[in-house]
């Protein structure tokens, strides 16, 4: 029995071992030397199995959202699994109209994963949380044998407060509503594809996209700016996995409406557009991690666009379509060539492990 | 582009595919046919990225706890990863003195995992949640390539409400306090070891333990019964990974005290005791998933034991030691032979993936 406290972790060359997940002293050391210094807050410092948080304001309702993050590669232009795990879950809370407050983080580490990489990921999570003004208040760490995981998976759960009277969800779209997007589509998906091609030593058209970085960002500031104006917001949603195509179909089904999008109005970076054309991909299905779909009454859309354009995350915002009455819940798009096409859910098997 | 809704999932012979994690129609189908029917509640039915929950009672504080579950094997005597994921996180909320209310569940599935097993796990989660009187209100599903995961990992996050004025945490132990345990130690750890030995076709002494089933259970009912008496409870904790040995050391460090345990008073099933002896294991470090350590003033310990003994999960409860003044935070144990030994943190590398 080793009664001495082991020496400090070797954060430069050390690796995750199975014992780090056993719940004893090695687990305490991993948490104490990697996570605690970065996440640093009173709740984690208490060292209990859960975090006791303040009461919400009177009549505020609690919003909970959770996401498992399995993105590959772990590090990519514009972010990493750490920042993504913070942004993604903050955004799922924020699109309900709620103020994100706290995050819980559960880690599944693969035996042999470099501690230096884990430290870098924890640092990135802490920075993303700090920028967003929220705290990572509780967590858990498990370790699986080499070959039973893939470096690190992170499940984050966000809790936030929803003001009285506010009701924003996917079922709120009404025929006639305007459909807005907060910026260019496909940046995250293309950045991940490009990173994978680079790892595999491929070029295959990806040269088009080598300047593209992930848009991973927390959207709650942008959403707060929209809410502050009092504009009636019927639906907010971040078009992540499955891209805009999946998101508009989800909303159409939840609301029992159709949509008509206008291809020429949808903002796409030239590099993303060129790479999509070369690779035969559709930007409608590429993932985004810092974009927002807004559905609001048509008479409010100019005011909403003005708010979006005044915010760094909304400067390329555009009105891209309208909600129409359609009991079949079809989403269609006017193409640049003047025709119409169906915008269905994901067309086949695009990209696994995008987030 | 496949515009028709695909036929129903083949829950008997189907397997998880990468497309089930892509966020499009296949993901919606997996959620709709496997998780939604079992978890069935208004929040999941809303189909949004997060769940909007009711306000807590005035002055109630929010408690959050999270756990990643990677137990192997997925099914074991007395439970499975599904019931464990519900119980484990409910317990982490309950040991803070809070009333567990809602769970979020994030799934990381390995490509090729049988849908029949996933359905069985979802059913087990739903049953455990129903028994505990809580709802699984939001979730997420990701899929990783074959060989990058291990069947299914589940991260659950629990939210609960903590009554005003109640403060229970690991830092509350005071010299002179009594240390109680709610029942026999090591059942879960031994059941898992036995299941693994069975899978590997081994017997190796495990025959002793073939009758042992996991103690996995939700402890919040037992804790509520203790709280209802008004007995001052200084610390509650469930001795999971790392067993009682890790838990008492954690508490000793958080509270800045020592402890003296009494081996003869610690309840252990004869089958667990015999298997430990044969295999050279120490029951102090075997995991438990339905046991509670209670630290309370010595004058309250009889009243606490009476409450425990009256509850099905506490019928084998016992007073097993006392808190002592010790700035070194040592935990010692009077052995059955009349000597004393140190009870350190986990002695070496016991069992990975126990929960």
Question: Cα–Cα distance between A303 and A301 in angstroms, integer?
Answer: 5
- pLDDT for residue A350 is more than 80: no
* Beta carbons of A51 and B63 less than 8 Å apart: yes
Answer for the pair A271, A212: CB distance below 8 angstroms, yes or no.
yes
pLDDT at A3: 40
What is the distance in angstroms between the Cα of B17 and the nearest Cα belonging to chain A? 10
Quickly list H helices, B200-267.
Answer: 220-228, 243-255
Q: Kindly indicate the confidence band of residue B345, based on its pLDDT and cuts at 50, 70 and 90.
A: confident
Question: Cα–Cα distance between A202 and A147 in angstroms, integer?
Answer: 25
Question: Cα–Cα distance between A234 and A229 in angstroms, integer?
Answer: 14
Is the preceding peptide bond at B73 cis, omega within 30 degrees of 0? Answer: yes
The residues pairing with B53 across neighbouring beta strands, listed in sequence order, are A62
Residues in chain A with CB shorter than 8 Å from the CB of B236 are: none
What is the distance in angstroms between the Cα of A165 and the nearest Cα belonging to chain B? 12
Residue percentage of chain A with pLDDT more than 90: 84
Least confident of A129-133, A279-283, B202-206, B207-211: B202-206
Q: What are phi and psi of B244, to 5 degrees?
A: -60, -35
Least confident of A11-20, A181-190, B337-346: B337-346
pTM of the predicted model over 0.90: yes
Answer for the pair B190, B272: CB distance below 8 angstroms, yes or no.
yes
Q: Which residues of B125-139 are buried (b: 16+ CB within 10 A; e: fewer)?
A: bbebbeebebbbbbb
Instruction: Report the CATH superfamily, name and number, of domain A18-163.
Output: PurM-like, N-terminal domain (3.30.1330.10)
Q: Kindly indicate the confidence band of residue B203, based on its pLDDT and cuts at 50, 70 and 90.
A: low
pLDDT at B184: 98
What is the distance in angstroms between the Cα of B301 and the nearest Cα belonging to chain A? 23
Structure tokens, B299? 């004058």
The residues pairing with B52 across neighbouring beta strands, listed in sequence order, are A63
* Beta carbons of B155 and A158 less than 8 Å apart: no
pLDDT at A212: 93
* Beta carbons of A169 and B46 less than 8 Å apart: yes
CA angle B63, B66, B71 (to 5 degrees): 145
Facing A65 at nearest CB: one of B26, B50, B68: B50
pLDDT at B304: 98
Question: Cα–Cα distance between B354 and A231 in angstroms, integer?
Answer: 51
What distance separates the 2 farthest-apart alpha carbons in chain A?
A: 76
pLDDT at A55: 85
Facing B144 at nearest CB: one of A142, A150, A169: A150
pLDDT at A2: 40
Of A215, A197, A184, the closest CA to residue A283 belongs to A184
* Beta carbons of B25 and A64 less than 8 Å apart: no
Question: Cα–Cα distance between B29 and B34 in angstroms, integer?
Answer: 8
Is the preceding peptide bond at A187 cis, omega within 30 degrees of 0? Answer: no
pLDDT single digits (tens) A92-108: 999 999 999 999 999 99
Q: What are phi and psi of A47, to 5 degrees?
A: 70, 20
pLDDT at A198: 77
What is the distance in angstroms between the Cα of A316 and the nearest Cα belonging to chain B? 24
Question: Cα–Cα distance between B290 and B317 in angstroms, integer?
Answer: 12
pLDDT at B198: 76
Q: Which residues of A206-240 are buried (b: 16+ CB within 10 A; e: fewer)?
A: bebbeebbbbbbbbbbbbebbbeeebebbbbbbbb
Residue percentage of chain B with pLDDT more than 90: 84
* Beta carbons of A346 and B24 less than 8 Å apart: yes
Structure tokens, B158? 């629990």
Answer for the pair A52, B65: CB distance below 8 angstroms, yes or no.
no
Of B149, B266, B190, B77, the closest CA to residue A153 belongs to B149
pLDDT at A32: 94
- State the helix-helix crossing angle for B187-199 and B270-279, rounded to 10 degrees: 60
- pLDDT for residue A295 is more than 50: yes
* Beta carbons of A63 and B70 less than 8 Å apart: no
Structure tokens, B209? 């333990």
3-state secondary structure (DSSP) of residue A77:
coil
Q: Kindly indicate the confidence band of residue A340, based on its pLDDT and cuts at 50, 70 and 90.
A: very high
Q: Kindly indicate the confidence band of residue B4, based on its pLDDT and cuts at 50, 70 and 90.
A: very low
* Beta carbons of B25 and A58 less than 8 Å apart: no
Least confident of A20-34, A65-79, B88-102, B198-212: B198-212
* Beta carbons of B52 and A28 less than 8 Å apart: no
**Torsion angle of the four alpha carbons B142, B147, B149, B150, in this order, in degrees rounded to the nearest 10:** 120
Residues 6+ apart with CB under 8 A from A4: none
Of A2, A98, A273, A255, the closest CA to residue B51 belongs to A98
Say yes or no: do domains A18-163 and A178-342 share a fold.
no
For A10, counting Cβ atoms within 10 Å of its Cβ (0-12 exposed, 13-18 middle, 19+ buried), the class is exposed
Mean pLDDT of chain B: 93
Of B214, B301, B219, B316, the closest CA to residue B266 belongs to B316
What is the Rg, in whole angstroms, of the alpha carbon atoms belonging to chain A?
22
ipTM rounded to 2 decimals = 0.95
DSSP A253: H
What is the distance in angstroms between the Cα of A141 and the nearest Cα belonging to chain B? 7
* Beta carbons of B27 and A170 less than 8 Å apart: no
pLDDT at A151: 98
- pLDDT for residue B3 is more than 50: no
- pLDDT for residue A180 is more than 50: yes
Which helix (H) or strand (E) segment holds residue B155: the answer is: strand B152-162
pLDDT at B56: 87
Q: Does domain A178-342 have CATH number 3.90.650.10?
A: yes
Q: What is the mean pLDDT of residues B82-108?
A: 98
- pLDDT for residue B37 is more than 50: yes
DSSP B256: T
**Closest-CA residue in chain A for B102?**
A64
* Beta carbons of A106 and B157 less than 8 Å apart: yes
Higher pLDDT, B177 or A205: B177
DSSP A330: -
* Beta carbons of B69 and A238 less than 8 Å apart: no
Residues in chain B with CB shorter than 8 Å from the CB of A18 are: 349, 352
Question: Cα–Cα distance between A219 and A213 in angstroms, integer?
Answer: 17
Domain residues of chain B, as ranges? 18-163, 178-342
Least confident of A4-13, B290-299, B330-339: A4-13
3-state secondary structure (DSSP) of residue B122:
helix
The dihedral sign for the CA sequence B168, B169, B172, B176? positive
Q: What is the mean pLDDT of residues A115-122?
A: 98
Which helix (H) or strand (E) segment holds residue B30: the answer is: helix B25-30
Q: How many CB atoms lie within 10 A of CB A106?
A: 27
**A-interface mutation test, from B1, B16, B20, B24, most A Cβ less than 10 A away:** B24
Residues 6+ apart with CB under 8 A from B316: B182, B183, B184, B267
Answer for the pair A43, B169: CB distance below 8 angstroms, yes or no.
no
pLDDT single digits (tens) B118-174: 999 999 999 999 999 999 999 999 999 999 999 999 999 999 999 988 999 999 999
CA angle B280, B284, B286 (to 5 degrees): 75
Is the preceding peptide bond at B205 cis, omega within 30 degrees of 0? Answer: no
Answer for the pair A303, A231: CB distance below 8 angstroms, yes or no.
yes
Structure tokens, B337? 């032979």
- pLDDT for residue A4 is more than 70: no
Question: Cα–Cα distance between B291 and B214 in angstroms, integer?
Answer: 11
The dihedral sign for the CA sequence A320, A326, A331, A334? negative
Pairs of residues, one from chain A and one from chain B, whose beta carbons lie less than 8 Å apart: 310
pLDDT single digits (tens) A197-240: 877 666 545 566 678 999 999 999 999 999 999 999 999 999 99
Question: Cα–Cα distance between A233 and A304 in angstroms, integer?
Answer: 9
Question: Cα–Cα distance between A156 and A159 in angstroms, integer?
Answer: 10
Answer for the pair B349, A19: CB distance below 8 angstroms, yes or no.
yes
What is the distance in angstroms between the Cα of A166 and the nearest Cα belonging to chain B? 10
What distance separates the 2 farthest-apart alpha carbons in chain B?
A: 76
Q: How many CB atoms lie within 10 A of CB B220?
A: 23
């Amino acid at each position: 029995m080793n009664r001495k406290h082991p020496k400090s972790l070797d954060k430069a060359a050390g690796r995750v071992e199975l014992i780090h997940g056993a719940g004893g002293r090695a687990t305490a050391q991993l948490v104490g030397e990697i996570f605690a210094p970065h996440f640093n807050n009173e709740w984690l410092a208490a060292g209990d199995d859960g975090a006791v948080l303040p009461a919400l304001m009177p009549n505020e309702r609690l919003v909970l959202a959770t996401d498992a993050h399995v993105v590959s590669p772990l590090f990519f232009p514009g972010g990493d699994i750490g920042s993504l795990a913070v942004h993604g879950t903050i955004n799922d809370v924020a699109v309900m109209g709620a103020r994100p407050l706290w995050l819980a983080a559960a880690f599944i580490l693969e035996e042999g994963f470099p501690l230096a990489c884990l430290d870098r990921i924890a640092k990135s999570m802490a920075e993303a949380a700090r920028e967003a003004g929220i705290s990572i208040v509780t967590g858990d760490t498990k370790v699986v044998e080499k070959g039973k995981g893939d470096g690190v998976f992170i499940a984050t759960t966000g809790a936030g407060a929803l003001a009285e009277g506010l009701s924003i969800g996917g079922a709120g779209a009404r025929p006639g509503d305007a459909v807005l997007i907060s910026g260019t589509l496909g940046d995250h998906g293309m950045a991940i594809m490009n990173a994978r091609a680079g790892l595999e030593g491929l070029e295959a058209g990806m040269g088009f996209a080598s300047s593209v970085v992930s848009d991973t960002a927390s959207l709650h500031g942008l959403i707060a700016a929209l809410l502050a104006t009092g504009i009636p917001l019927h639906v907010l949603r971040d078009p992540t996995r499955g891209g805009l195509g999946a998101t508009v179909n989800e909303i159409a089904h939840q609301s029992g409406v159709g949509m008509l999008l206008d291809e020429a109005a949808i903002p796409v970076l030239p590099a993303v557009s060129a790479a999509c054309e070369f690779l035969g991909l559709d930007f409608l299905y590429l993932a985004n991690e810092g974009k927002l779909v807004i559905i609001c009454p048509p008479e409010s859309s100019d005011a909403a666009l003005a708010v979006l354009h005044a915010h760094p995350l909304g400067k390329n915002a555009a009105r891209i379509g309208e909600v129409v009455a359609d009991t079949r819940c079809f989403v269609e798009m006017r193409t640049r060539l003047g025709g119409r096409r169906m915008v269905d859910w994901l067309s086949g098997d695009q990209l696994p492990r995008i987030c």
